[in-house]
Chains A and B, each alone.
Chain A
Amino acid sequence: MINGDRIRQAREIAELTQEELGEACGINQSHVALFEQNLRQPQDDTLRSIALATGFPISFFKREQAPDFPLGSLLYRKRKSMSSQDRDKVRQTGRLVFEAIANMSERFKPIDLHLPRINSVEPEEAARMTRAALGFSPDTPITHLLTRLEKNGVVIVSIPYDIEDHDAFSVWADTEPRRPVIVMTSGKPGDRQRWSASHELAHLVMHHTYTGSPSDLESQADRFAGEFLFPEEAARKDLGGSPITLMILADLKSRWGIAISALVMRAFNLGIITDGQRRYLFRQLAAKDWQRNEPVPIPDEKPRLLRKLAESIYGPNFETKDVADPLGIPSQMLKPIIASYASPADLQGTARTNPPKEKARGGLVTMLPRRP
């Protein structure tokens, strides 16, 4: 029995439309639609063509339904700038990796979930409550954020796609028990990664029922992330007193792991600077092109769980196919996914640093014309 949902999953991961898959298999788009809705079963030769076109083995299409993986925060984050093809690919790949994690996790006791679900409080208060629930101190920088979240029962799904303007989304996966999942794309600097994870955490904690406009929800999530990563008391202490300058912001980024532009917004949201000062600082960032190329690179983090599960089941020197074969996932597809998770060596502190995309400016000699 072929599972139509798997055909759709493979097609969307392969970034094919129904029409394109039909063309590759010599069938009509309507046939693909019927297969995907389980209203019709493909012939063996058609199935082979589908496998060839999508890069998935035939065994994958015979697998049972994957855990339900709603769109979650994909419904309202950066939708305008993200194509539906990218969105489907990200969601289906996230779903696949989550399935791998869920399958392997069945052999182990569930990790205790400490993430609260909070209603009817201001985002800042929700952030403080979440810090407390996760066992974080109320006023110090949070390092190793992804690992700490995993140890508190949040599943971090890392997918090795660098999609511009899309960093992460989150869902409560429909498993038993339900699990909070944050799906993160790669290739982003550590500070942006930390902000995205905190932003998604806000959706998981506060927005399990979707009420309000997407922009309101996004704004609330940003307020939560600001308080979660840089609590008000510490922010007032560190940003108050002397004038806020680029050097001060660079020092604070180094200590708190938050982008300089986010620090400016935090100062503004807390009323430490006026709107005029906010615009003044953003003009400086724009003039220096720091909005694209900020100084003080923060090392990016890798989650750990997928790799830890594989090591625990198949041994420390497991091979990709050990994980891929039981799930019918192509090994070559899973390899970069596993590589985006931390190995024991990574945990020992060999963290990587994202270099700035462009070399810092400076050093050009200007020879001025002689004066008459």
Chain B
Amino acid sequence: MTCWAKSCNFITQLEHTLEPTDFAKQSLKMLAPLGPILHRAMEPSVEEARTYLNGRRFDGYVFADLTRYHTCCRLEQSNLPKGIAFNRLPNNGILFHCDGSQARVWKADEGGELQGPGTSKSKQAFFDQSNLFSQDPRSYRYAIVWQYDFQTGLLTLSLACPKQYDEQRPWNNVECHFYIPFQHAAFEVSAAPEFSSPEPSVDDIDLKPRRKIQESGDDGSND
């Protein structure tokens, strides 16, 4: 199969299947380390933003901005793993460099989709990936879309690969190659090793045979 045919096949696959494509899986695998980093930084940040607005007139923009602000502060203080870099952009924007790829973090719209770039030239440039045919996930730019449900208190993160935005209606949602949810980072946490490894202080039960009654004159009980 030629490179061109491969690329066409790849795009067809992306557009017609509902199962995770290899490309989507590879992208998620590549950016998987960002899941725990963001869950750890965003969950308390969402709570802080929520607490701030509790009893005040709710404003979705303030909520999102406060969440981003607290998240940025936490990310700046955290020790990120090697190969991952965080940049704080204007207006508390969040940009990661991970394994040679870029990922921006944006709040989803009410339908859980990536919001359109509007008139922002930098966003428009970021979202325009309609002419890319590479099968290398590192060639793409990604969006991590976060969504918060005020009813359940759940924060969900999804990885999206933007394809193109609507130039005529730039506020409309961005068309994406795929959306794929990050598994909650709690599933990455393992039990402390002490629970499974032997502990020197917990050696085997020490059983001492009873002495014979005839020899000792008692039953040997140490009660």
Footprint of B on A, CB under 8 Å?
A: 106-113, 141, 143-144, 147-148, 150-151, 177, 190, 242-243, 245-251, 253-255, 257, 280-281, 283-284, 286-288, 295-299, 304-305, 308-309, 312, 344, 347-349, 351, 353, 360-368, 370-371
Interface of A is mostly: loop
Does B24 contact A365, Cβ atoms closer than 8 Å?
A: yes
* Bound Cα distance from A286 to B176, whole angstroms: 30
Which residues of the other chain, B, contact A281 by a CB distance below 8 angstroms? Answer: 153
Assembled-state Cα–Cα distance A112/B206 (Å): 11
Name the residue on A nearest B169 (C-beta): A371
Closest Cβ–Cβ distance, residue A332 to chain B (whole Å): 27
B residues 160-178 with Cβ under 8 Å of A?
166, 172-173, 175-176, 178
8 example contacts (A-B, Cβ-Cβ < 8 A) are as follows A107-B209, A109-B222, A143-B199, A247-B39, A283-B151, A296-B189, A365-B180, A367-B15
Q: Which of B4-12, B42-50, B93-101, B131-139 contacts A (4 or more CB under 8 A)?
A: B42-50
Give the shortest distance, in Å, between B173 (CB) and chain A (any CB).
6
- Bound form: Cα–Cα A172–B26 in Å: 58
Q: Is B77 an interface residue (CB 8 A)?
A: no
Is B2 an interface residue, CB under 8 A from the partner?
no
Chain B interface category by residue count = 35 or more
With both chains docked as a complex, state the minimum distance between the C-beta of B107 and any C-beta of chain A, in angstroms.
17
Residues of chain A within 8 A of B202, CB atoms compared: 143-144, 147-148, 151
The main secondary structure of chain B at its interface with chain A is: loop
**Pairwise interchain contact A246-B198, C-beta atoms closer than 8 A:** no
Closest CB of chain B to A352's CB: distance in Å? Answer: 8
With a cutoff of 8 Å between Cβ atoms, the chain B residues found around residue A284 in the complex are 152-154
- Residues of B bordering A, CB below 8 Å: 14-21, 24-25, 28, 36, 39-40, 43-44, 47-48, 51, 113, 149, 151-154, 166, 172-173, 175-176, 178-187, 189-192, 194-199, 202-210, 220-223
Known: A347-B198, A351-B196. A254 touches B191 (CB 8 A): yes
Shortest CB-to-CB span from B129 to chain A, Å, is 15
Contact between A363 and B197 (Cβ–Cβ < 8 Å)? no
Known A-B contacts A107-B209, A312-B207; A247 and B185 likewise in contact (beta carbons under 8 Å): yes
B179, B192, B199: the one contacting A365 at CB < 8 Å is B179
Partner of B195, one of A113, A249, A351, A368: A351
Contacts of B176 in A (CB 8 A): 368
> Which residues in B have their C-beta under 8 angstroms from that of A254?
189-192
A349 touches B196 (CB 8 A): yes
Within 8 Å by CB of A366, from B43, B179, B184, lies: B179
Q: Which residues of A contact B191 (CB under 8 A)?
A: 190, 253-254, 257, 296-299, 353
Q: Which B residues touch A249, using CB under 8 A?
A: 186
How far is the CB of B13 from the nearest CB of chain A, in Å? 11
